[in-house]
Amino acid sequence: MTFLIIFAAKYLYLVVIALGITVVLLSSKEIRKNYLMLTLGAFPLAYISSKILALFIIDPRPFIVLHIQPLIQASTDNGFPSDHTLLTMTIAAIIFTYNKKAGVLLACLSALVGVGRVLAYVHYPLDIIGSILIATVSTLIVWYAFYKWKLLV
């Protein structure tokens, strides 16, 4: 079981990235353009939003608070939000806009990344939920704005 937790917490995000890239490359030229546009908008918005929220939500990492050894190496900075979950959920949300099945699969894998990081004692559930919300809302805002401005095909 420890192996699965460590894999989810430390390496599963790479699978999400690879699958996301694969979905984009297998898409039509028009949809690839839309994915690129959404990526250029959603990632910066999610990143900036996470940095701003981290100034107000201080959540020390569990291994620091509980004085235990985490299952994986992690920094000792503020745990909110989970960068790994933010990255993978933003990918999932972007993919979901044009490929619902792949987007749901990537969202489930992203949730497993978050669960792995909680079970590895490097994040609390709040950090994961915050990342999921930031990624989803950021992507939705960018999709809506680009759709209204007719930047998406």
13-38 residue pLDDT tens: 999 999 999 999 999 999 999 999 99
At residue 1, the pLDDT reads 87
A 10 A CB-CB count for 14 gives: 12
Helix (H, G, I), strand (E, B) or coil at 122: coil
The burial class, CB within 10 Å (0-12 / 13-18 / 19+), for 151 is middle
Burial annotation 34-45 (CB, 10 A radius, 16+ → b, else e): bbebbbebbbeb
> Cα 153 vs. chain centroid, distance in angstroms?
25
Q: Encoding tokens for residue 18?
A: 């690879």
At residue 70, the pLDDT reads 96
At residue 65, the pLDDT reads 95
63-88 residue pLDDT tens: 999 999 999 999 999 999 999 999 99
Cβ within 8 Å of residue 144, ≥6 positions away: none
Consecutive H or E run containing 103: helix 100-119
> Model pTM?
0.96
